[in-house]
């Protein structure tokens, strides 16, 4: 009896035709939108729109940059350009320190080799003196 109630309830759903119509409409619209967006005409129209937007926004962006620089200067804060220049200087300084570290490492290696060579020379000089002792 429960199976007949379930079949009766699904058959009696008045919104099912509307759902089917909605799903087919959405499917058709999605397909047509994909076709429209992938067309050359859409790409050209979008490019034209973006170019005109960029041309219109440039004066406003420049005015905003100028006012932001003035505000940062009045607050004694660095601008983006100043921070970028400082970051570049730090990077150069870091590279120079790395080079100096490598040079100091090679100097230390040479000094250690020289020290071991001189110690080996000193021990050889002492060995013949010990061998010259009377038996």
- DSSP summary character for residue 125: H
Segment 14-42, tens digit of pLDDT: 899 999 999 999 999 999 999 999 999 99
Per-residue pLDDT of the chain (135 residues; tens, 9 = 90+): 455 555 555 567 889 999 999 999 999 999 999 999 999 999 999 999 999 999 999 999 999 999 999 999 999 999 999 999 999 999 999 999 999 999 999 999 999 999 888 888 777 766 555 555 555
Distance CA 43, CA 53 (A): 15
pTM of the model: 0.44
Q: Locate 127 and state its tokens.
A: 């060995």
Are 70 and 77 in contact by the 8 Å Cβ rule? The answer is no
Interatomic CA distance for residues 92 and 84, integer angstroms: 12
């Amino acid at each position: 009896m429960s199976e007949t109630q379930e079949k009766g309830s699904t058959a009696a759903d008045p919104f099912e035709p509307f759902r089917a119509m909605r799903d087919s409409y959405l499917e058709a619209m999605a397909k047509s939108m994909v076709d429209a967006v992938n067309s050359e005409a859409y790409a050209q129209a979008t490019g034209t729109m973006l170019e005109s937007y960029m041309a219109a926004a440039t004066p406003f962006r420049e005015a905003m940059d100028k006012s932001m620089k003035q505000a940062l200067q009045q607050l004694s804060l660095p601008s983006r350009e100043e921070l970028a220049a400082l970051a570049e200087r730090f990077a150069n300084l870091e590279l120079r320190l790395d080079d100096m570290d490598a040079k100091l490492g090679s100097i230390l290696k040479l000094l250690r080799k020289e020290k071991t060579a001189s110690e080996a020379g000193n021990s050889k000089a002492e060995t013949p003196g010990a061998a010259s002792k009377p038996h």
